[in-house]
Amino acid sequence: MIERGISQDRMNFLWGLAAAVSLVFALRLVNLQILMHSHYQEIAERNRTQILPQAAPRGRIYTRDLAAVAANKPSFSLIYFPGRINSVEAMDKMADSLSRRLGMPFDELRAGLYRAVKKGAPVRLAENLSSKAMFSISELKTMYSGIDIVVEARRFYPFGNYLSHLTGYISKMDAKDWAVYGKDKNYGMDSRVGKAGLEKMYERDLKGRDGGIYLEVDSRGKLSRILESRKWEPGSDIYLTIDSKMQAAAEAGLKASNTGKGAVVAVDPRSGAILAMASMPDYDPNRFVSYSDEKKYDNMKELPEFNVAVQGTYPPASPFKIISSIAGLDSGRMDPAETFLCPGYFDAGSRVFKCWEKKGHGKADFIRGMAKSCDVYFYNLGIKTGPLNIEKYARMFRLGRPTGIPLPDEKSGNIFGPSRRAEKKSYWFIGDTLNLSIGQGETLVTPIQMAQLISAIASRGAFWRPYYVDHVVDFEGQITFKSKPEKLSQAELKDRTWELIREGLKEVVLEGTGQTVKIDGVEIFGKTGTAQNPHGKDHAWFVAYAQLPGEQPEVAVSVLVEHGEHGASAAVPIAKEVIQAAFRGRLPGSRALVNTLASAGSGAVSGSTAPAGGGR
């Protein structure tokens, strides 16, 4: 018999292979047990636990005088934890009882109960329940096991429609929102997120960190027990530059106007801080967070989300005469002492252009032409100055471009001038020059652009980026963001030009079309306007800035009343109320400043009704 042995080389190969395999297993074990230990432990923990999230209170939103325009209230969610009750009859009976107590569809509640039993996991049957519903359900807890109530935070807007276009609103997350926030562990499919305004722009600051109930489940995903409840962390608070009294005056004035439509923007000309921003019609953001057991028949498709202040475009009308005046005076083409006769019309040859004053203004120099808003004077000024010069200064004063305020969908308006026509290879006519000189024709502006314009006049040419958030404070009281004024550009004019424009605007208030804005103890400089509207009644404009004697201008205001017909009667009274609110406590006969500020700090935002006015 012949013995066949295994060669030494083969044995060495087999031993080496075994050692290599052992080494691979050892390295894999080290990787699993040491290097990737925390990773796999987290996965295992997730497989063992489920989280029932509890929404954290969103950060609050305050005006600069500490009126809370967005806060939180406790709300209640109905949770069902599946347990011993799993028969069809028992669940149907429970669904029927809940349906009668909550006024919710029986089929919807029954489907939720069935889903909880099938998955062996808790289900949120209803959320955002009123206190009345919560107490009603509390009685059922003694009858049906597994029913529980979870306390969460519900967004609440104490003053309803107040400042709604700037504040915005929140609502349930949709697919578009999920694409933005879905990767953040702090968001779930049923999270509520900001949909407009501040709520959207500062969503991650306001959100906070949700809490939750941690539940233990078995290998099949069935609920075993509740492990713990983790407390939430509230979101950061936002402090605005908005003055609550000025905002209230702006909103009250627009609502009391003859149409109830339009916009008011008030700016601090020293920094660009927004002091008031009102847009009408407005809406109540509480509509999106109303109690789920309250029966509401609300058509959200009719929600007036359009922000007139930054999205509405209109002919600037007579306030544009400020630009025409600057172009004529600063270029040296207009002598302010030169007079023109206004018989009530201007004969352009092929067409007669009328002045708003049918009987005419007689002879008018620059100051009288500005004070009386004489169209014929400005027709002559426009011809002498030239449309290219007017267009040049319109661009210098940043018309035809967004102001840069951090709000979505701001419109840029439109600059009307020969260069734009040339780009389109179209003709420019004398009638175009006449329309341009008085702010008619194709020129379009937004209310915030006009606020920026009059603010630049007040500050002798400084253009600041408008902003409305002063600072942000986290839940620990630390300031995480602080706004700094940002200068965008500087309009350089001759000193004499600034002096003449200031004198002309002051005369508008003292002896001209803006007399009804007068306030004892306050120097006001303004310009009224009536914008022709081919689709209906004319729009009313008024722009102004104001200061205490001997001090710097503190507020610049732009008022537009849609279909208001006349600036002097519709827009001026609103501006007057806003300016009075700006100087509250510092005017003759007003209450002590300390008492006024204390009242503002209490959160009162009521405003007075704007008085009636007259004239153009």
Amino acid (1-letter code) at residue 544: A
Are residues 262 and 572 in contact, defined by beta-carbon separation less than 8 angstroms?
no
pLDDT at 488: 97
Residues of the chain with pLDDT > 70, as a percent, come to 84
pLDDT at 224: 57
- pLDDT of 191-237, one tens digit each? 889 999 999 999 999 998 888 776 665 544 455 565 666 778 899 99
The neighbouring-strand residues paired with 266 are 276, 557
* Phi and psi at residue 612, to the nearest 5°: -75, 155
Q: Which of 463, 469, 451 is nearest to 163 (CA)?
A: 469
CATH class of residue range 54-220+229-240: alpha beta
- pLDDT of 488-547, one tens digit each? 999 999 999 999 999 999 999 999 999 999 999 999 999 999 999 888 899 999 999 999
pLDDT at 599: 44
Higher-pLDDT residue of 28 and 382 is 382
**Residue 281: is the preceding peptide bond cis (ω within 30°)?**
yes
* Cα 129 to Cα 150: distance, rounded to the nearest angstrom: 10
Q: Where along the chain do its domains lie?
A: 54-220+229-240, 244-281+306-601
* Cα 205 to Cα 611: distance, rounded to the nearest angstrom: 41
Of 300-314, 367-381, 528-542, 559-573, where does mean pLDDT reach its minimum?
Answer: 300-314
Residue 316 has pLDDT above 50, yes or no: yes
* Phi and psi at residue 50, to the nearest 5°: -125, 155
Looking up tokens 């400084």, which residue turns up? 462
Mean pLDDT rounded to a whole number for the chain:
85
Residues of the chain with pLDDT > 90, as a percent, come to 57
Higher-pLDDT residue of 52 and 106 is 106
pLDDT at 241: 98
Q: Determine if residue 453 is left, alpha or beta; phi over 0 gives left, psi from -120 to 50 gives alpha, anything else beta.
A: alpha
Amino acid (1-letter code) at residue 12: N
Per-position DSSP letters for 530-544, written without gaps between them: EE--TTSSPEEEEEE
Q: Which of 437, 396, 402, 397 is nearest to 416 (CA)?
A: 437
Whole-number Cα distances in Å, 156 to 63, 284, 554: 15, 10, 33
pLDDT at 309: 97
Per-position DSSP letters for 127-153, written without gaps between them: EEE-HHHHHHHHHHTTTSTTEEEEEEE
- pLDDT of 322-352, one tens digit each? 999 999 999 999 999 999 999 999 999 889 9
CATH 3.40.710.10 describes domain 244-281+306-601: yes
Whole-number Cα distances in Å, 14 to 18, 23, 340, 609: 6, 14, 113, 98
* Cα 560 to Cα 88: distance, rounded to the nearest angstrom: 63
- pLDDT of 271-290, one tens digit each? 999 999 999 999 999 888 76
What is the pLDDT confidence band of residue 569, given thresholds at 50, 70 and 90? very high
Of 14-18, 56-60, 281-285, 541-545, where does mean pLDDT reach its minimum?
Answer: 14-18
- pLDDT of 572-606, one tens digit each? 999 999 999 999 988 776 554 334 333 433 344 44
pLDDT at 615: 36
Q: Which of 544, 605, 600 is nearest to 575 (CA)?
A: 544
- pLDDT of 542-567, one tens digit each? 999 999 999 999 999 999 999 999 99
pLDDT at 33: 65
* Planar angle of CA 31, 35, 37, nearest 5 degrees: 95
- pLDDT of 98-140, one tens digit each? 888 777 888 888 888 888 777 766 777 777 776 677 777 777 7
